[in-house]
């Protein structure tokens, strides 16, 4: 589940509170996935897509595998609903956080550290799902095809891969370079602080590539910033007909691409892209 993702209705923020600290822009920063506790506070409450994935699990007719499962925002909800679901993620801290949460909830989980471009698991699945823009971390065509080939390899006969991605349109690419974008905020129940996520984006529309300087601010009551956590991340966006060619190159035999979780046609760059690709 990537930080620095294309926004769902967020806006660039002006004024002093939204100005980036330019002195830190070129300083190497850790990955946001090295801070799973902060990630959890910000993103675990999100449930906009959970009903869809629960429905995918109910109709799968077999086990599921979540690629890029992170700290378990979706995977643990699937397991809690009775699904036979496994997961993997490239971030060891995220997977460890997932395991701790699963143990605390008394729900055993099979989750391993693995790269979606090069993984091998013993089971075969009715569905391989990749949610919340996780596929955008495959940053080259070769990486994308390798990941899709691995997804197909892990599907049982009749199985399908299901991918969710945002669909950045002209308005998104035209946003000012280096302008902080306020993404989301939530309250940390442990500290009582408000956590805000700000994303300063640097984009290459031709390459469909985005680099983000991510800041997570901890704000106490009264508005004072008591801590600032800075990270770097990057991703590459994929569009409909490009994705169809990637499915073909990876060996899938048929696919369907829709414009959102209600399976309506993909007609607007404001839509979320949901892609199904069948093994055979």
pLDDT digits (tens, 9 = 90+) for 81-135: 999 999 999 999 999 999 999 999 999 999 999 999 999 999 999 999 999 999 9
Structure tokens at 23: 């002195």
The mean per-residue pLDDT over the stretch 159-187 comes to 94
Q: What is the pLDDT of residue 227?
A: 97
Q: What is the pLDDT of residue 28?
A: 65
CB 198 within 8 A of CB 224: no
Question: How far is it, in rounded angstroms, from Cα 92 to Cα 119?
Answer: 14
Q: What is the pLDDT of residue 14?
A: 31
CA angle 278, 95, 51 (to 5 degrees): 50
| Percent of residues, the chain, with pLDDT higher than 70 | 90
Buried b (16+ CB within 10 A) or exposed e, 76-98: bbbbeeebebbbbbbbebbbebb
Neighbours of 236 (CB within 10 A): 18
pLDDT confidence band for 62 (50 / 70 / 90): very high
Q: Which helix (H) or strand (E) holds 181?
A: strand 180-187
Question: How far is it, in rounded angstroms, from Cα 212 to Cα 231?
Answer: 8
pLDDT confidence band for 200 (50 / 70 / 90): very high
Question: How far is it, in rounded angstroms, from Cα 38 to Cα 67?
Answer: 21
pLDDT confidence band for 273 (50 / 70 / 90): very high
CB 225 within 8 A of CB 217: yes
CA angle 4, 7, 12 (to 5 degrees): 90
pLDDT confidence band for 21 (50 / 70 / 90): very low
CB 250 within 8 A of CB 276: no
Side-by-side strand order, sheet with 11-12: 11-12, 180-187, 194-204, 209-219, 225-236
Q: What is the mean pLDDT of the chain?
A: 91
Structure tokens at 89: 């993620």
Question: How far is it, in rounded angstroms, from Cα 204 to Cα 26?
Answer: 18
Picking from 63, 255, 50, the residue whose alpha carbon sits closest to that of residue 132 is: 50
Q: What is the pLDDT of residue 255?
A: 98
Q: Which helix (H) or strand (E) holds 246?
A: helix 240-249
Unique residue bearing structure tokens 């969710």? 164
Q: What is the CA radius of gyration of the chain?
A: 19
Q: What is the pLDDT of residue 3?
A: 56
Question: How far is it, in rounded angstroms, from Cα 203 to Cα 27?
Answer: 18
Question: How far is it, in rounded angstroms, from Cα 205 to Cα 171?
Answer: 11
Question: How far is it, in rounded angstroms, from Cα 114 to Cα 122?
Answer: 13
Q: What is the pLDDT of residue 27?
A: 58
246-264 pLDDT, tens per residue?
999 999 999 999 999 999 9
Superfamily for the 50-168+239-278 domain:
Vaccinia Virus protein VP39 (3.40.50.150)
Structure tokens at 64: 């599921």
Could you tell me which residues are beta bridge partners of residue 118? 115
Question: How far is it, in rounded angstroms, from Cα 48 to Cα 189?
Answer: 21
């Amino acid at each position: 589940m990537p930080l620095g993702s294309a926004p769902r209705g967020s806006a660039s923020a002006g004024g002093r509170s939204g100005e980036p600290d330019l002195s830190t822009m070129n300083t190497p920063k850790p990955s946001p996935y090295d801070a799973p506790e902060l990630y959890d506070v910000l993103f675990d409450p999100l449930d906009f897509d959970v009903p869809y994935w629960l429905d995918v699990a109910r109709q799968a007719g077999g086990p599921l595998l979540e690629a890029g499962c992170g700290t378990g925002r979706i995977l643990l909800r699937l397991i809690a609903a009775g699904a036979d679901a496994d997961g993997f993620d490239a971030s060891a801290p995220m997977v460890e956080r997932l395991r701790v949460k699963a143990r605390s909830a008394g729900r055993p989980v099979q989750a391993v550290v693995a790269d979606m471009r090069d993984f091998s698991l013993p089971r075969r699945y009715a569905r391989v799902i990749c949610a919340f823009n996780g596929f955008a971390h495959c940053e080259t065509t070769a990486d994308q095809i390798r990941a899709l080939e691995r997804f197909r390899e892990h599907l049982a006969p009749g199985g399908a891969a299901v991918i969710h991605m945002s669909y950045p349109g002209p308005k998104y690419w035209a946003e000012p370079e280096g302008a902080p974008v306020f993404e989301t905020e939530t309250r940390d129940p442990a500290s009582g602080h408000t956590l805000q996520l700000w994303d300063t984006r640097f984009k290459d529309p031709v390459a469909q590539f985005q680099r983000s300087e991510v800041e997570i601010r901890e704000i106490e009551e009264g508005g004072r910033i008591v801590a600032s956590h800075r990270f770097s991340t990057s991703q590459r966006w994929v569009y409909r007909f490009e994705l169809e060619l990637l499915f073909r190159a990876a060996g899938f035999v048929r696919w369907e691409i829709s414009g959102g979780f209600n399976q309506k046609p993909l007609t607007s760059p404001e839509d979320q892209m949901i892609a199904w690709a069948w093994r055979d």
